[in-house]
Amino acid sequence: MKAAVLRDDQERFSVEEVAVDGVGAHELLIQTAAAGLCHSDLYHLRGVFDIPRPTILGHESAGVVLEVGSEVEGFAVGDHVITCLATFCGRCERCLSGRSYLCAGTHSQRAPGARPRLHQDDAEIHQFLNVSSFAEQLLVHESAAVRITKDMPLDLAALIGCGVTTGLGAVFNKAQVRPGETVAVIGCGGIGLSAIQAARISGAGRIIAVDRQPDKFDVATKVGATDVVDASRYDAAEAIRELTGGGVDHCIEAVGAPATATAALESLAVGGTATIVGLMPSGKTFPVQGRLLLDDRRLQGAYMGAQNFRVAMPRHVELFLSGQLLLEEMVSSRIGLDGIDDAFDAMEAGRAVRDLVIF
């Protein structure tokens, strides 16, 4: 199969032939239909996080099941599936306490010394985040996939595989926005736009979209924002407090930068909650005014939407099919495997919301 391979020290992909190993007992082989480009792929591409290379990036995808391992239950050839990096063992303390999205298990990888899932001759191509989506086929552990209805277009389904589920879940499960509450969302990328939609679906009153790229406000408004703040011109926290006469009930930070995390807390009304969703590079810290917390404000994180994706993703599909979740609006471009480099450049420059690789 063809895949976009990322080699040592390189920041450009090369489309190469990669071999996929035979399907293990608890594995699924999937024909990739589409894969989204996520901001965390960009971090790994630019070497912000260390990962074993050569590898194939991408972790947001959907496709059709080609082959089912002998011990796998609940999947059949021809099923439409969304993949997810948040594999779960169902046995560890985190899984058993309802936080399977934080599963500590290593069950989803092949045992050390076993044949790698992906290789070129004898050389291993490391699988990225249990998925490696920028490839024509995906060989994954069964707990990295969820079956969805065939009514769902597979290209848009890919978006639900990471960004959409992360953004929706942060609002539904962690922030738990109630009807009429005010919400600010800092960062109008894939996760931020999904958080805006979740706020709208939850019945929020004012929904304030914040970004440094004013060209993103069109789509932010289309999917639910009632107000916008151009953070390249105004202090975000100050503008939010001014617009709301004292601050918002919820601020969702979907950038992953120290300054925006501080702004999220400082934009809150008394009793408000800041939910940090953006991926912040390890070692980064941000200042917190302790006095703000005393007035019953809360600062929290939310990983992968704080939900089991097997439950959440089919619900997100239903939200799309019923017209409440807008996905086409979030797609900046549809590209081939050879367009990934340019698409990441556009993402880095803040020009793109979500690009989709179509296979």
Interacting residues with Zn ion (CB under 5 A): 38, 40, 89, 92, 95, 103, 105, 162
Q: How far is the CB of 94 from Zn ion (least distance, A)?
A: 6
**247 vs 305, beta carbon nearer Zn ion:** 305
Cβ-based nearer residue to Zn ion, 103 or 243: 103
SS3 labels along the chain: CEEEEECCCCCCCEEEECEECCCCCCEEEEEEEEEECCHHHHHHHCCCCCCCCCEECCCCEEEEEEEECCCCCCCCCCCEEEECCCCCCCCCHHHHCCCHHHCCCCCCCCCCCCCCCEEECCEECEECCCCCCCECEEEEEHHHEEEECCCCCHHHHHHHCCHHHHHHHHHHHHHCCCCCCCEEEECCCHHHHHHHHHHHHCCCCCEEEEECCHHHHHHHHHHCCCEEEECCCCCHHHHHHHHHCCCEEEEEECCCCHHHHHHHHHCEEEEEEEEECCCCCCCCCCCCCHHHHHCCCEEEECCHHHCCHHHHHHHHHHHHHCCCCCCHHHEEEEECHHHHHHHHHHHHCCCCCEEEEEC
**Beta carbon of residue 128, minimum distance to Zn ion (angstroms, whole number):** 11
Q: Shortest distance, CB of residue 196 to Zn ion, whole angstroms? A: 17
* Distance in Å, CB of 44 to Zn ion, minimum: 10
CB nearer Zn ion, residue 89 or residue 292:
89
Beta carbon nearer to Zn ion, 105 or 301 = 105
Closest distance between Zn ion and the C-beta of residue 98, in Å?
11
Least distance (Å) from Zn ion to the CB of residue 312? 14
Q: Based on CB atoms, which residue is closest to Zn ion, 40 or 194?
A: 40
